[in-house]
Structure 1
Amino acid sequence: MKRLLVVVDFQKDFVGGFCTPERADEVDGCIADKIRAYRDNGDKIIFILDTRETAYLNMQDSHVRPMPHTLDGIGNGLYGQVAELRTDIDEVYFKASFGSSDLFVRLMKAQKVAASMGVLPFVSIEVAGLSATRCLLSNVVIARTACPEVPVIVDARCTVARDEDSMRKALDILAELRVDVLNAD
């Protein structure tokens, strides 16, 4: 049985662009180290990419953030070392909201097959990326919902929020969801 690493929204517009939370570029090395470790162990890696259409200004999210972002082919590419480490064997899902419905479907299928054999689909599901308060948190909830008996892990060194107060609140919520939060201090 393998572990699963889900990397959420570690993209140009969210790290090096105008949507940047505090210290977003500082987690690049931590996420890259996780990817290397998972790959060296033969584990599974999924990338979730926030990807908007050019009609972004007509979407609900545009009222909160009126600047188009993560447009397909423009700002939605992976960032930094993380971008260099993605390979063709990794699954990539695109989303236009906080949580990935494709991730949910993928995990539900894995859960169903594993349950039919009396095992868990993964040893653990670790979620890393941006932002701890929205997209990372939403995809953690998806993982917990689709695979309720699989331990879900978030390493606090591999995610950030818009500020320290928001980060603390996100980590508290993750702990309440019975997520194994590592390195929170």
Structure 2
Amino acid sequence: MNILIVVDMQNDFVSGALGTPEARRIVPAAAERVAAGIRRGERIFFTRDTHGADYLHTREGRNLPVPHCIRGTEGWEIVEQLRPASAGQAILDKPSFGSAELGRLLAEENEKELIEKVTLIGLCTDICVISNALLVKAFLPEAEVAVDAACCAGVTPESHRTALAAMKSCQITVEHEALPL
């Protein structure tokens, strides 16, 4: 079985409070990758960065004092281009960078049917994508873990490249790295 994980493709990371031109540029590629995954029969999980009204009083909020992805707001929602594809798929709300729930669910799925490959796409390469890729690697050490660089964007282009290099050194396959952002 192959899995596709769509990490935090939310309005606040694309066009909202923490949006970037690079994030806006990857939306069409991410939408096409999800559509291709559906056609291929991949199991698809979406994650949503999820915070409460007390965000600024959390450890993350003290380090990044920009309210974002507050549950129930437009910024918290999956981007419009991916919303139809997310219907009927598992959506995991995560209060921090990595999702332990995702790791546990993948381990359970692997018990039922061997997971051969897990591909991650989304935002931000240097925070939540790398965190979840390493988490998946820990829960599924024998599965191939890959990141599609053409469907990811970092906080900056430099931090995106740095995260890709770090993931490579952890035996995570980086696909489409040469494509420009």
| Contact residue 51 and residue 71 of structure 2 kept, 8 A | yes
Does residue 147 in structure 1 map to residue 140 in structure 2? yes
Which of 121, 128, 131 is the matching residue for 1:135?
A: 128
Flag as ranges the 4+ runs of structure 1 deviating above 6 A: none
Unaligned runs of 5+ in 1: 115-120
Q: Distance in 1 between matches of 2:52 and 2:156?
A: 28
CA deviations over 1:98-136 (Å, ceiling 9, x no partner)? 00111011012123344xxxxxx2221000000010100
Distance 1:107 1:45 in 2: 11
How well do the aligned residues superpose, as a CA RMSD in angstroms?
A: 1.3
Residue in 1 aligned with 2:84? 84
Q: Is the 8 A contact 1:132 1:159 kept in 2?
A: yes
| Distance in 2 between residues matched to 1:55 and 1:12, nearest whole Å | 20
Instruction: Report the equivalent of 1:9.
Output: 8
Q: How much has 1:22 moved relative to structure 2?
A: 4.1
Identity, % of aligned positions: 28
Amino acid at match of 2:80: G
Q: Does 1:162 align with 2:155?
A: yes
How far apart, in 1, do the equivalents of 2:177 and 2:42 lie? 24
**Contact in 2 for aligned 1:22/1:161 (Cα 8 Å):** no
Matched, 1:93 2:92: yes
Shift of 1:84: 2.7
Q: What is the one-letter code of the residue matched to 1:38? A: G
> In 1, distance between residues paired with 2:138 and 2:112?
16
Instruction: Work out whether residues 154 and 179 of structure 1, in 8 Å CA contact, stay in contact via their aligned partners in 2.
Output: yes
3-state DSSP of counterpart to 1:128: strand
- Native 8 Å contact 1:28 1:80 kept in 2: no
Q: CA deviation at 1:153?
A: 1.1
Size of the alignment, in residue pairs?
177
Match of 1:68 in 2: 67
Counterpart CA distance in 2 for 1:161 and 1:53 is 23
Q: Which residue of 1 aligns with 2:167?
A: 174
What amino acid does structure 1 have at the position aligned with 2:62?
H
* Distance apart, 1:83 and its partner CA: 1.8
Partner of 1:38: 37
User: In structure 2, what is the Cα distance between the partners aligned to 1:113 and 1:101?
Assistant: 19
SS in 1 for 2:150: helix
Q: Secondary structure at the match of 2:46?
A: strand
Report deviation, 1:179. Answer: 1.1
Which structure shows the bigger proportion of residues in strand conformation? 2
Unpaired runs of 5+ residues, structure 2, are none
Q: Give the conservation status (yes or no) of the 8 Å contact 2:17–2:67.
A: no
- Say which SS state the counterpart of residue 116 (structure 2) adopts: coil
SS in 2 for 1:153: strand
Q: How many Å separate the matches in 2 of 1:60 and 1:22?
A: 27
